[in-house]
Amino acid sequence: MVLHNRLSATELKRQLAAETFFRVTVSFYQYAKIADPQAFRDSLYISLSSLGVFGRIYVAHEGINAQVSIPEHHFEAFKQQLYAIPFLNGIRLNIAVDDNGKSFWVLKIKVREKIVADGITDPTFDMEKRGRYVDAAAFNQLAEDPDTVIIDMRNHYEYEVGHFDKALEVPSATFREQLPMAVEMMQPHKDKNIIMYCTGGIRCEKASAYMLHQGFKNVFHLEGGIIEYTNKARELGLPNKFRGKNFVFDDRLGERISEDIISQCHQCGEPCDTHTNCANEGCHLLFIQCEKCAAKYKGCCSDACTEVLALPEEQQAELRKGIDKGLMLFNKRRRRTT
């Protein structure tokens, strides 16, 4: 049996566009000890493929991290299959806040060393000793306390388009960089309540455990992250303290939480919070671009990339050869336009 996709991206996207049913985007994670991640991965691929599930899932000895798109008519069957796995029985599913049903177009399940790349090498670090959960109501209450510090444990480009009121940014592009930075930043606040949050809970949960490992005491993390907070705030009629967009790692690149636009187009500086990837595949930079600049630069991040995009595809392919794009993220200190 083939346990991976064999169709082209073009064909998969064509099939997604032709679907006549709606899809539900959900995310979930669980820190758990998986003895044989590869066997678990293969079994999961078979079961989810049978339901037409798309998405991105990472499996490791430390657990599972998943963002998936499920045909609405298979949602209950999906839950039953998931809950049949002992350590996932009853797990919280974070339902997307602003969902167009087109978040993913293929199923990819990968075995990794860790479900969150954290850079932690200390063998005494223990995920069992983590901070205390706070739900939406408790978060709002703690946030009003002047002795509370709120830390955003997402990347700088996520924070830029949306974050909680008074939340501190840990200005980095990777979680592994953030952990030691957060510890250093919080040294003057060791006696305060520290609430950590992220998109769906997986990063802030590990971060809370790391802060406790570093000697901090009053550490909390937001249960279910921004997604669960937003859903609960709406359900319970609570004030929503999140402003702007919640960046998501799928084709949507963001889900609207509030109408506030707190960031600017990286090219002209006008209010905008629409992330996109540079249309020049040899660049593929992730940046914020307004509609006017998208038209002016043909979806590219600079004049140089617009010129490349105008070349025949064969020449573009030649230019792309041997390029190591690395982590292509917009740097606010260096504009990309000319």
Residues classed as catalytic? 198
CB neighbourhood size of 326 (10 A)? 6
DSSP state of 275: E
Q: Is 184 exposed, middle or buried (0-12, 13-18, 19+ CB in 10 A)?
A: exposed
Q: What is the CA angle 263-29-161, rounded to 5?
A: 0
* Cα 226 to Cα 68, 146, 290, distances in angstroms: 17, 21, 25
DSSP strand pairing (23-31 vs 94-95): antiparallel
Give the helix/strand (H/E) hosting 314: helix 313-320
107 burial level (CB within 10 Å; 0-12, 13-18, 19+): buried
List, in order, residues 6 or more apart from 79 with CB less than 8 Å away. 93
With CA atoms as reference, report the closest residue to 336 among 294, 271, 285, 298: 285
